Amino acid sequence: RVGRPLQDMVITRRGKDKLKEAGDQIEESSKIDKQSIIPAPSWNAKLNIDWRNDVGKTVFMRMLHWGPLIALFLIFYIGFVAATLALSWWPISTVGGFVHFSIFLFWNYSTLNNFLKAAFIGGGYLTKEWTPDVVTLFIQSDMAGHHTCSLQEELDSHLQYCSQCKGYKAPRAHHCSKCQRCVLKMDHHCPWINNCVGHRNHAYFVIFLASASTGCMHACVIIATSIYHGLNLTWYNRYAAKDSYPVVHLTISWFLVSVLAAALAAGVSVAVGILMGIQLKGIYKGMTALEDYIVSKAEHSREEEEEEGIEVTPFVFPYDLGWKSNMKEIFSGWGTAHGNGIWWPIRNGTDQFTLTKEQLRQKVAKRERARMVKIIHSYPGGWWRSIFVGIRVFLCQPISEEARVKIEMEELWMVTRGQKHWLYGKKVVSDGEESTKGWFPRRYADIVSDNENDSTSQLTIASTSQSSTEKSE
């Protein structure tokens, strides 16, 4: 075992009240001092950074996507309209006008600069066919004198294997189906930057959100004030003292352009502000969106086991170093990421593999809950073709960018999750075939009986054996 994690201390608790007390104790333990933090080890990360191949696209090519194109349009359109209106009634020849316009230009610059950095740098990719430096790893983690199984089994018990990248996943890394790579400390794939948010660009992304939401609020004030004074210009000319009011001349076309810009700025400010709040909440807790989901599943499964009278061990998230340290980890470098993205500072009582071992445990539980289904009707795949399946199926699609896969009659699929109208699973294939996974309509599948399930288990075993062979190679 790696170190002496808190998971080794089995605590017996009965009832929801005791479970809540344990949760409160864990929450209280999140107030961590520096003595409770174990620095990141100096183990070899084995990262081969190749900017040309890792980034995969130049800035120009990455911008040729609907997400970045819409984002750039909003940045330039709202900025241009607000700047033009601001100069019309508060010229930069005055001190106040100069300061005001400089602040607004700063929001525009910060938004565009951090947007491009987040899009170009990306979250950082794990080297394909990555395997940890096992010699150094075993010696420094005190595993060499304790493991009684093979090196392959030792690795499999601590790290997940990515069949697409033909290598192991580093702690906190996840495979992105859009980027087709494992991303370091992946938070999510953002279509607006056409890239993943992760280890290398997390700070740039959050600063972009903060600048965009603040700049749009500023633009809303400028445009709303301009529209108000433009609509009431006749009244000001008749009753107000000369030079006591801003003069804003709005033609019909500029009025419509201004109203549209104000509406877009308000919408962006609210939407981006909510997303920024979610990001800051995650940074406060030291966890990404994916890790938050993993931790919630870990707590829920332990609560269910407790209700069944099973001895449970509270899960302790290893990367929550206290809110101050969590914030410094992201923002202290002015956007530059700390560490190598492989090995991390952790809480005392946990180890570098606490989270990955929990993920492996959840995968075993997911496989136990999986159900075999047989396809009873073909589906060509894709988002829009589901409208021919049914209007409800089309409208109630999963909120996910995962593929809507093609299925053929008589195929067997192993389903791990689902919704009312959709199922998510992996195609059961024989040895040597490449499997696919994704969403498909629920009505086009039928649950396989136990007898049929037993007869098809050999296919699943063959597929698993193929993955093991790939690892060994």
- Exposure string (b/e) for 66-99, b if CB count within 10 Å is 16 or more? ebbeebbebbeebbebbbbbbebbbeeeeeeeee
∠ at Cα 56 (53, 57), nearest 5°?
Answer: 140
Closest by CA position to 23, among listed 298, 325, 310: 298
Closest by CA position to 127, among listed 40, 42, 39, 44: 44
Q: Are 166 and 390 a contacting pair, CB within 8 Å?
A: no
Query: Known catalytic residue: 190?
Result: yes
SS3 content of the chain, % helix, strand, coil (to 5): 50, 10, 35
Closest by CA position to 415, among listed 389, 381, 438: 438
| Gap between the Cα atoms of 309 and 442, Å rounded | 35
> Three-state SS string across 100-140, please?
HHHHHHHHHHHHHHHHHHHHHHCCCECCCCCCCCHHHHHHH
Q: Are 356 and 159 a contacting pair, CB within 8 Å?
A: yes
User: Looking at 162, 179, 182, 190, which residue is catalytic?
Assistant: 190
Helices (H), 247-316: 252-285, 289-307
Residues with Cβ within 8 Å of 280's Cβ and at least 6 positions away in sequence, in order, are: 206
| Gap between the Cα atoms of 434 and 426, Å rounded | 11
Q: Are 445 and 421 a contacting pair, CB within 8 Å?
A: no
Helices (H), 141-201: 151-156
Q: Are 89 and 226 a contacting pair, CB within 8 Å?
A: yes
| Gap between the Cα atoms of 419 and 303, Å rounded | 23
| Gap between the Cα atoms of 376 and 446, Å rounded | 7
Q: Are 158 and 2 a contacting pair, CB within 8 Å?
A: yes
Helices (H), 142-201: 151-156
Residue numbers annotated as active site: 190
